[in-house]
Structures are given as structure tokens and as C-alpha cells.
Structure 1
Amino acid sequence: MVNIGNISLPDFPLLLAPMEDVSDPPFRAVCKDNGADLMYTEFISSEGLIRDAIKSRRKLDIFDYERPIGIQIFGGDEDSLAMAARIVDVTQPDLLDINFGCPVKKVALKGAGAGVLKDIDLMVRLTDAVVRSTSLPVTVKTRLGWDDSMLNIEEVAERLQDVGIKALAIHGRTRCQMYKGEADWTLIGKVKNNPRIRIPIFGNGDIDSPQKALEYKNRYGVDGIMIGRAAIGYPWIFREIKHFVQTGTVLPPPTVEERVNVVRKHLQKSVEWKGAIVGINEMRRHYANYLKGLPNIKEYRSKLVRLTEEAPIREVLDEIIEKYSGLEMQATPIELINYHEKCPVN
């Protein structure tokens, strides 16, 4: 078992990463169905929570079937983060996570997210303020450092543990790398194997297959793996990794029926949570990812993104099952979707 404060997770847990505009309740629901052991909300601005901003408050929505679940906040001011932590406390998630890893310009260059990696003393003060303001277990997600000249994750891990965090998730890139190049897990392994470190260490970055997950588990000794981009359009990655770790065999890819059923559930949850207009509009970006690999699927995708009512969409999904019933899906590489690609680095 892996323990985060009073939360008990199975051996080598799989975590769904918090992703802005992705990790909402509808998406989390299908990931939970497919084996995610611990999930996080989209990150929430501490300033937005304090201002009672509608979008920020809406991100606090969590449901019992999602547990254990963490709410993630970000900010660069001690008082604001402490007040946000007290607001989060009232919603009773299982843990509270601080984002010190978001690399996008609008966050990092305003002294929050990965921007705090340039000032470790500030990071420690911010974390300490949150720990003191909540009864929840506090965890942190961060990166290796700001750039290659500031790879300070080992110091970060020790000092944040000293002020009371209960787990640390590390993305194997610097802020300046964004999502480019290959994630470097070497320093993640050093943190995990540091004799001073007692808290669980979760690795994150480029896990796109069961084989890589097991290889990195064995090579770096991490307590678990956090999966982000690889789960977009492919929540089955959680069950595939679990099966491979336990048995050494590879599960067949999801059938057409399984793919369409996940689309149906995602659509249902999206409409329930966001309302018909927004829920249907925001589902449009998901169809291509879920249906990738089906031959000549473009015609159906085009129909799905043009429809504005739920019933006709479900009829098209029924047509897809009828057309492709019995088709044996081929295993294809999982695409690591660059969902923040539109955000400039500098």
C-alpha cells in the first residue's frame, strides 16, 4: 500500500494528472471507470477562489464516486493561498495539491505554477502557509527546475517534506522545456532514492505504454506514476498498465463498442455537469481522440461535431457501432497530446 496522510492507495497507484480544460468531472468519470486510483481537479487560481469567480468555484465540484480525489490550487501569494486552502477545506476533498509545475506563460511568468521554481524560499513559504491552513493532506506537483541551470528538485523535495507535504509528483522536464523533448526521469529516481525522503514520490512525463510504465517503475523505483496527456482520448491506459504490471501480458485494445460507450458516458456527464449547449460544444474536441484508428471515420466525426442536440449525436454513435461491429482494433501508439501547445513559452 501507498499512504498519503490518511489516504491508502494500492501498491504502485496510477494517478490522473490535473490538466487545465481537460480534467473536469466528465473526463475524470471515464478515467475512474478504467482504473485511475487517484485523480485531481483542474488547477484553480487562489485569487479566483477568493474573488468568488464562477469558473474557479465550479472547478471545486467533486463527486463521491471519484474518491479519493484532490483539489489543486495555484498562486504566488502566501495569504491568498492560505485563504484558498481554507475555502477548499470546506468542500471536503481527500487532499489538497499545490501546483508548482504549470509552465504556461500566463501562470509561470506571474510568479505562480512553475514560476516559483526560480525562488525555492518562496516555494517553501507558500507551501508552509497552505499546510498550516488546512486539515487535509497537502501534496505538491512540480518540475525538475526552471531550466537546465536550475535543476533543484532534490532540494525542493527535502524542504517541502520538512514543512509537511505528504507526497510529491515530479514532471521530468524543466519549465523552459514546456512539453518538448523527452522527459528525464533520472532526477526523479534520485529524489525517490534519497535516504532523507520518506514521502511517496510519483513520476510524471511521457508514459505512453504499459511497457514503459513497468520499465520506469523498475528502473527508478517510484511509488506510482501520474499520467496526463496519454489519457486524453485513451482512458484505457490505466487498466492496460495495471494488467501488464500484474501479469506481464498486454491487454487487447478497446473494442469499437468500448470506445463508443466511453464517448456516450463522457457526453452524458458533460451535458449533466455543463448543460446541453456547453456540454455538447465541448465534447466536439474529444471525438477524434476517442475514435482514432477506425477506418474511414472522418464522415462520422464530421457529423458529430456539427450536431447540436444529444439525441442525434447518440444516433450517430449507434451508427458507428453498427458499421464497425466485429472490427478487430489494432494496437497503435498512444498519442501524447500537447494540449497547451497554443501557449507561448516566453
Structure 2
Amino acid sequence: MAQVGTAQIKAEFLLPIGTAPAFTPDDDAAEGSSSHVRGPAPSEEQRDGRSTGPERVKLTKAQKKAQSGSNKGRRFGKVRDELDLCYQVAAGGMCNFGDQCRNNHDIAAYLAAKPADLTFPTPEEVKTMPLPGASAMEVDGATDPKTTCPLFAELGECRYGFRCRFLGAHLHNNDAGTPELVKNEERMAFAATDCVEANRLSNHAQKLLRTKKYPFPVATAYQKEVEAADAANAKPKPKPVVSENAVVVSEPDQDMDAVAVPGPTPAEPAPPSSSTDEIVEKRTGYAVAPADAPDVPTRFAEKKRLDWAGKTYLAPLTTVGNLPFRRLCISYGADITCGEMGLAKSFLGGSKEEWSLVRRHPSEKIFGVQLAGSKVPQVVSAAEALAKECGDTIDFVDLNCGCPIDLVFKTGSGSALLDNVNRLGKLVVGMSRALGEIPVTVKLRTGVKDGKNTAHKLMPRLAPEFNASCITLHGRTRQQRYSKLADWDYIKECVDAVRAREADEDLPRIPIFGGGDCFSSQDYWARVDHSGVDGIMVARGALIKPWIFTEIKEHREWDISARERLEGIRKYAEYGLTHFGTDTAGVNSARRYLCEALSFQYRYVPIGLLEHLPGRINDRAPAFRGRDELETLLASGDSRDWVRISEMFLGPAPEAWSFTPKHKSNAYESQG
């Protein structure tokens, strides 16, 4: 009989007891809630193990504390060329700063000192390439005409020009013997619509945001209405009730069902009707006016309808849910993608890093942006800025009401909104107005504290009263984090509550997605059938095995081979180069995020090694070897092995560069 929490590995693949590491992956730590405490170094025997498991050494309380949490002290400095060439000159242009430019303008001198070209393997080469260090290595000479530049191959030009580490792919000497950059005009014309990333914030808009001069007419008007409604609805504070023993009894908490979202003075009563517009008007206090009026909100019925039933949904994932990872999941069958959580305050500050989170690749057919915040003016203003700057290339905006980390929770954002329905309602109604036709979706947890689920009361209100167009429910409370399995019975209860209200009031049906512990096609479809959700938002399952979307689409469990997994890693490296860049700095940014992805993927246990199917996400395997050397390497929890794997595609890592995983418990090297 299978032991609970243990992946049952076939006997022929087990390693001797004592070779497994003395720690297990910490998914709570991925949220970044704990301070960095350096843990004890593993022994050489532990470093030889390839996975975690029940045979791990029993730790003291102090050791467990030292190994828990996230590595907050991580530093990934930019790696540059020794002789830095001006970017404008490198791209074949003229420098705007002329002689005052701090960078080198001598192309010949730069090429003489430039690191040698890297080579990037093709899918066919991946099938037979030897293990680490044999493909994307430096070649003899500065340039290699046989190399392939992923950016040039996709876009028809390389914006890094002479700085590119794959320069030979787009360089030739003219009749005078002078090196010149090559462009593929035919490819450029095709790439303009099919390959170029969208949602780049203009310099003008960024300047207005940073100087606080960006106009927010909708958000400003909405805030005035909310303030007027708050003043109109304000009640005199009741005098405290004093008992006979002179003990002051505080006023009881207001029940969730009694909380109403304040708004401006309601419009004149309309004739009875069951239309969505009039229901929204009645419950929010906002009169619905013709769509062509510039100073009124878009009718809720005019919002883009989300027909998401049966579609696969990749969750927004902090740090690892970047554009290259989303492209990888799309290649495996993901239908809906959402950018990493962005803070409303940072969007309004014109943060280059925050606005980079909304970048969208044309392969993302349904793409959304996730916002986090608690202050109504900030969140509504951020939504308005997103609508103005990216309105044509964003399909939805998601309000994060589920993030459990202390940094977010203590500001009243994320899952803290579950206990402040009044504010949550103001946020969703305001975002809906500011976004026009763009739908607002809401992601939440079952509640804040264990034993006090509240989602069944909140979810039926989100669409008819607050104008939400889709709901996603993670089946855990904020307090639980990942310590217990998701409660799919409760998710079913919440879905039933929403559908009951829709039926009673003849409301349009909105999509509802569940989430939690989905790790196989069998998990996915069984939970969809049981709970009645339209689909499941996949998070950790996609991090550990991005090909889960293929399994879901094809209703099968895929015993993926090590070479097929390596091809997925090659794709990630390629997408990373086209996103982060092909110069020295871009190559090492791609390396950093590839290692972040491998810090999850090493936890996959090939199903061909398991005694019982399907695998379960929370099971931990004893130390094992793979069916071949590559499969064993891909199961290594040593972060140095992840760097070795990256070198197969991105060349040797710089001597001064090292990778520290986000989870302290996720790599042997990070403990030492």
C-alpha cells in the first residue's frame, strides 16, 4: 500500500537509503514570506542524491528554521563585456551623445576584444547532443558564420547588432572588407504582426506617470462619487454599550451579507426589468448611460464576454511566470495566460520593471494583466492607465484577492481584501468603469483563516453587484498556504451558490475556474466533473511539468522522455534570448530565469518510474536514478547542475556568476 506523501518508485530505480538530501522543497517559501537564514551545508553523500524523500535525515528545530523560507538576499548583477560598445553604434546607427558618450564607438576594437560567438542547438541536435557543455560553447575566432541567432531568426533583424553573442548569423563583410549587419526584410515584414512583443510603455507616458502629470479623468470622477456616497451613507457612531459591571462592549462586526458597496446617489427608479444593466444600476447606484457618452461607464452588458469553458489557464506566477515561460506553456497547449502580479502603486510610478510585466507575445491568444493593491484611487487609476496604454492588447485585468504573503497582506492587498468586502467591491466596480470594454476578473482564496471560509458568501455577489466577468477560486485559506490539500468540495459549494443566484435572477452565466493541487490529466478532469467549474487554473503543476497542458488537452498521462524534456528546456532558452536579449547581459538574464524554471522542474518524477499512477503534486520521492544519465541529471536538486544544463544552450557561465534559488530548500548548493 502506498505511503501517504511518498512517491512510490520502482525498486530498480531506487538509490541506497541515506543518499537523499536532508530537506524538501518549500512551496510556501516561493511566496517570499520568510527572511533569509543560511542553512547548513549538505554532505557529499547528500549531494550525490537526485531527489528528496522520506529517508531524509531528521533535522533539529533550529535546522528546520534555518532551511525554511526564501533567499531574500539574492543578487543577480548584470554581466557586461569588458569593452562595452555603445548600443546605438552596435545597432548600426549614430550615437546621440557623440564624443560625450561613456561607451566605446570603435567597432573594430570591440570586435577584436569581443567574446567568441556561441552556438545554439537545433531541435534535431538536441536529440543526440552529449551532456552538459557540448553545444552552446564558444567557438574558435570572434564570429561563427554557422551559428544561429534566435532573435534574428524570429524577427529578421537583431537589435543588439555587433553586441550579439551569435553575431556570425547576421554579419558579412562588404566589398571594402568592412563588417556590416544583415537584415532579412521578408522576415521583418512577417514578424511585425506575428512575433513582435506588444505593450511597451512609451517614454512620454512614462514621464507623465513619474512626474504625476498623467490624466485620470475616470478614476478622479469615480473617487469623488465614492467619497460622496461614503458621506451620504455615513451613520452616527453609536454610543458604546455599558454593562452593569462597567465593561465596554464593542459594536459587533458587520456581517458580510449586510455590507453594501457605496456609490453616488442612485438614479431615478426604472421600470421593473430583469436585464443585467438594471440589476447593476440598482445594486451599485451607478446610472447606466449610452455607450457613446464619454463621461459615463460602459454598460456591463457591453463588456467583452469571456467564453472560457473548456480552455486551459496558466496562473499568474511571480518571478517564474515571465513571458518566456508563458510561451513555453503555450507551445504545450495553454489557452489563457496572465502576466505576473503587478503592484498598482508601481504602475503609477512609471516603474520600468512593473510595466515590463504586461508584455505580451502574439502567440498569447488570451492574455491578461494581474493587479494588486488596496487603495481605491491607486488601483482604479492603474487600471485606467492600462486601458489607455495597452487597451487593444489586453483581454482582461485580474484583481488579486488571493496573495497570502505578508508583504502584500499587511498592506490590505491580496487575500486581506477577503475580509474587507466593502473595499473589494469599490475596487472591482471602479476597475470595471476605468477599463471600459475590458473585463475584470477576480482571483481569491476560500478565506483568510482556517475554519472560516467566506468565499461562498462573496462569490455570488461578484458578478451582479460588482461587475466581475470571471472568478477563480484557489481551494485554500490564506492561513493554510500549501500545508493542506485544496478543498474541492468547498469549491463545488461556491460554484453551486453562484449558479443558484444566476438561475434565480436570470443573470448571464460567468466562467468560474478552480485551483489547487492539479498535477495530471486525471486530476484535472475529475475535479472539473466533480466541482462544476469551467476549468482549472494551473500553477505549481505547470512549474514542475509545463507539458501538463498537453496531457489535459489529450486526456492522457505523458511519460515524457528526458530528450523531450530537454527540447522544452531548449525552447525556454530560445524564448529567453528573444525576450531578454542576445548580448552578454541578455544571455545571462536568460540563464538566470532558466535556472529559476529548473528549480521547479527537477522535482518531476518520471511516471515510467512510478509504481502507481498518476503522480501527486505533494508526494516526495526517495533518492532515485533515472532511466538514463540525462534523466538522472534532470532530477538533480543541486543548483550547480542547473547551471550546467543552462550551459548546453547559453554557453559557459561567467566565473563571477552563481545561481541562488528562490527557495532555500530547493538546492543543495544554496544551503552551503
- TM interval, short-chain normalised: 0.7 to 0.9
Query: Residue in 1 aligned with 2:431?
Result: 130
The amino acid across from 1:59 in the alignment is: L
Q: Distance in 2 between matches of 1:273 and 1:25?
A: 8
Which protein shows a greater Rg? 2
Aligned with residue 207 of structure 1, among 518, 524, 529: 518
Distance 1:46 1:296, change over 3 A: same
- The 10-residue stretch of structure 1 (93-102 or 213-222) with the greater mean CA deviation from structure 2: 213-222
Query: Residue in 2 aligned with 1:73?
Result: 371
Aligned with residue 163 of structure 1, among 450, 455, 466: 466
Distance 1:62 1:29, change over 3 A: same
Query: Residue in 2 aligned with 1:30?
Result: 328
Q: Distance in 2 between matches of 1:340 and 1:28?
A: 25
Q: How far is 1:193 from its partner? A: 1.6
Aligned with residue 407 of structure 2, among 99, 106, 113: 106
The amino acid across from 1:152 in the alignment is: T
Q: Distance in 2 between matches of 1:218 and 1:303?
A: 41
- As a proportion of its length, which structure holds more strand? 1
Query: Is the 2:320–2:597 contact (alpha carbons within 8 Å) kept by the matching residues of 1?
Result: no
Distance 1:299 1:205, change over 3 A: closer
Structure 1 position 252 matched with structure 2 position 558:
yes
Structure 1 position 305 matched with structure 2 position 643:
yes
Q: How far is 1:154 from its partner? A: 1.8
- The 10-residue stretch of structure 1 (304-313 or 217-226) with the greater mean CA deviation from structure 2: 304-313
CA distances 1:226-270 after superposition (whole Å, capped 9, x unpaired) = 1000101311111112222xxxxx343223332111101111111
Q: Distance in 1 between matches of 2:473 and 2:642?
A: 37
- The 10-residue stretch of structure 1 (56-65 or 186-195) with the greater mean CA deviation from structure 2: 186-195
Structure 1 position 96 matched with structure 2 position 397:
yes
Q: Distance in 1 between matches of 2:642 and 2:664?
A: 24
Structure 1 position 63 matched with structure 2 position 361:
yes
SS where residue 485 of structure 2 aligns? coil
Distance 1:308 1:52, change over 3 A: farther
Aligned with residue 147 of structure 1, among 449, 454, 465: 449
Structure 1 position 284 matched with structure 2 position 595:
yes
Aligned with residue 187 of structure 1, among 459, 467, 490: 490
Query: Residue in 2 aligned with 1:319?
Result: none
Q: How far is 1:28 from its partner? A: 0.3
Query: Is the 1:7–1:94 contact (alpha carbons within 8 Å) kept by the matching residues of 2?
Result: no
SS where residue 62 of structure 1 aligns? coil
SS where residue 411 of structure 2 aligns? coil
Query: Residue in 1 aligned with 2:131?
Result: none
Q: Distance in 2 between matches of 1:163 and 1:95?
A: 15
Q: Distance in 1 between matches of 2:433 and 2:460?
A: 18
- The 10-residue stretch of structure 1 (267-276 or 201-210) with the greater mean CA deviation from structure 2: 267-276
Q: How far is 1:182 from its partner? A: 0.8
Query: Residue in 2 aligned with 1:322?
Result: none
Q: Distance in 1 between matches of 2:448 and 2:479?
A: 6
Q: Distance in 1 between matches of 2:592 and 2:530?
A: 43
Q: Distance in 1 between matches of 2:665 and 2:477?
A: 16
Aligned with residue 240 of structure 1, among 544, 551, 558: 551
Query: Is the 1:104–1:178 contact (alpha carbons within 8 Å) kept by the matching residues of 2?
Result: no
Query: Is the 2:591–2:650 contact (alpha carbons within 8 Å) kept by the matching residues of 1?
Result: no
Query: Residue in 2 aligned with 1:264?
Result: 570
Q: How far is 1:63 from its partner? A: 1.6
Q: How far is 1:149 from its partner? A: 4.6
Q: Distance in 1 between matches of 2:477 and 2:402?
A: 9
Query: Is the 2:573–2:650 contact (alpha carbons within 8 Å) kept by the matching residues of 1?
Result: no
Structure 1 position 13 matched with structure 2 position 307:
no
- As a proportion of its length, which structure holds more helix? 1
The amino acid across from 2:394 in the alignment is: P
CA distances 1:269-305 after superposition (whole Å, capped 9, x unpaired) = 1122222121112212333544655444466874550
Structure 1 position 176 matched with structure 2 position 479:
yes
CA distances 1:20-73 after superposition (whole Å, capped 9, x unpaired) = 111110110011111111111101000000011122111011122112111111
Matched residues, number: 310
Query: Residue in 2 aligned with 1:120?
Result: 421
Q: CA RMSD in A?
A: 2.5
Query: Residue in 2 aligned with 1:54?
Result: 352
Q: Distance in 2 between matches of 1:340 and 1:46?
A: 29
Q: Distance in 2 between matches of 1:310 and 1:48?
A: 34
Q: Distance in 2 between matches of 1:7 and 1:192?
A: 17
Distance 1:52 1:216, change over 3 A: same
Q: How far is 1:308 from its partner? A: 6.4
Q: How far is 1:118 from its partner? A: 1.5
Distance 1:303 1:146, change over 3 A: closer
Q: Distance in 2 between matches of 1:159 and 1:261?
A: 45
Q: How far is 1:310 from its partner? A: 4.5
Q: Which has the higher contact order (CA 8 A, sep 6+)?
A: 2
Identity of aligned residues (%): 27
SS where residue 452 of structure 2 aligns? coil
Q: Distance in 1 between matches of 2:664 and 2:350?
A: 26
Q: How far is 1:19 from its partner? A: 1.0
Distance 1:155 1:304, change over 3 A: closer
Query: Is the 1:229–1:339 contact (alpha carbons within 8 Å) kept by the matching residues of 2?
Result: no
Distance 1:303 1:175, change over 3 A: closer
Query: Is the 1:34–1:235 contact (alpha carbons within 8 Å) kept by the matching residues of 2?
Result: yes
Q: How far is 1:130 from its partner? A: 0.8
Q: Distance in 2 between matches of 1:267 and 1:121?
A: 45
The amino acid across from 2:574 in the alignment is: Q
Structure 2: runs of 5+ lacking an equivalent: 1-302, 503-508, 581-585, 607-625, 653-661, 667-672
CA distances 1:65-97 after superposition (whole Å, capped 9, x unpaired) = 112111111100111111110122121311111
Query: Is the 2:587–2:650 contact (alpha carbons within 8 Å) kept by the matching residues of 1?
Result: no
The amino acid across from 1:13 in the alignment is: K
Q: Distance in 1 between matches of 2:490 and 2:524?
A: 17
SS where residue 183 of structure 1 aligns? coil
The amino acid across from 1:224 in the alignment is: G
Query: Is the 2:306–2:511 contact (alpha carbons within 8 Å) kept by the matching residues of 1?
Result: no
Structure 1: runs of 5+ lacking an equivalent: 245-249, 314-337
Q: How far is 1:120 from its partner? A: 1.3
